[in-house]
Amino acid sequence: MEVFNSVPINLTLEAVLKRMRVRNKNESIVKNVQEMIEVARPIARPKAVYDVVYIENKNGDSLEISGVKFTSRVLRVNLDKVERVFPYVVTCGKELDEIDIPASDFIKGYYLDQIKETAVILARQYLEDHLKRSYALGQMSRMAPGAGAGDDWPITQQEGLFSLFGGRAKVEELIGVRLTDKCLMIPIKSVSGIMFPTEIRFESCQICPREGCIQRRAPYDLEVVKKYRPDVS
């Protein structure tokens, strides 16, 4: 297991505006976002924990990872030819989460929210790059409980994912991420899942038909869906 207590990220205006998908970069938006970045950047300490674990007992719609059973046909198919995977939890960090913005200041609250989102995404990218360098890996994909693939890998299996690191209390001790009774993470701008090497990059969005999702990273692809669900026509 490896822990990063302060993931090095480059929290720039350009990175935040890109995350916000701003088309009209008017002076007011740029000024206000930059103001919030100047507040956030000196205290930003994104954190991450990951481990290297091995897959056992692939069977039907389930598999075991380091002795923990996960039920997901999509995950099982994606890991069909994979033996070693990298579970992770990454967070923007309590430092950013504890910046106090008055509830009445909706605009600054929104900009801070986008800065925190940018921080956690940059931190996850740093982790992926670290894994590629450290383990001589090529292309990688990732999956997360409750994300993109509908109910195939339910969010309740966050519990199992956290157990790979010693459980809820241990993850909170290591990087400050608390798992709620509904299996949501606090700070909210935290991500978790499993990274794995793959010849063809997989995005959960490819099998999620939900329209209008601002988080969509790839279009819905019926041919990809059929790979996991042969009964779909």
Query: What is the bridge-based pairing of β-strands 47-50 and 84-91?
Result: antiparallel
Q: What Rg do the C-alpha atoms of the chain give, in angstroms?
A: 18
pLDDT at position 132: 96
**CB-based contact 7:126 (threshold 8 Å):** yes
- Residues across the chain: 233
Give this prediction's pTM.
0.85
**CB-based contact 195:140 (threshold 8 Å):** yes
Closest CA to 53 of 122, 1, 131, 123: 1
pLDDT digits 0-9 by tens, 28-67: 888 999 999 999 999 999 999 999 999 988 888 899 999 9
Distance CA 122, CA 49 (A): 15
**CB-based contact 25:40 (threshold 8 Å):** no
Distance CA 20, CA 24 (A): 11
pLDDT at position 59: 86
**CB-based contact 171:192 (threshold 8 Å):** no
Residues of the chain with pLDDT below 70 are: 148-150, 199-233
**Residue tagged 């700070």 (tokens):** 187
Distance CA 210, CA 232 (A): 16
**Residue tagged 């670290």 (tokens):** 130
pLDDT at position 230: 58
Mapping DSSP to helix (H, G, I), strand (E, B) and coil, where does residue 96 land?
helix
pLDDT at position 134: 96
Positive/negative CA dihedral, 170, 44, 192, 103:
positive
Tell me the helices (H) and strands (E) count for the chain, helix number first: 8, 10
Distance CA 122, CA 176 (A): 18
pLDDT at position 60: 83
Q: H or E stretch including 78?
A: helix 73-78
Distance CA 24, CA 62 (A): 47
**CB-based contact 67:56 (threshold 8 Å):** yes
pLDDT at position 47: 98
Q: Phi first, then psi: what are they for 105, rounded to 5°? A: -95, 75
pLDDT at position 57: 87
CATH code at 2-228: 3.40.109.40
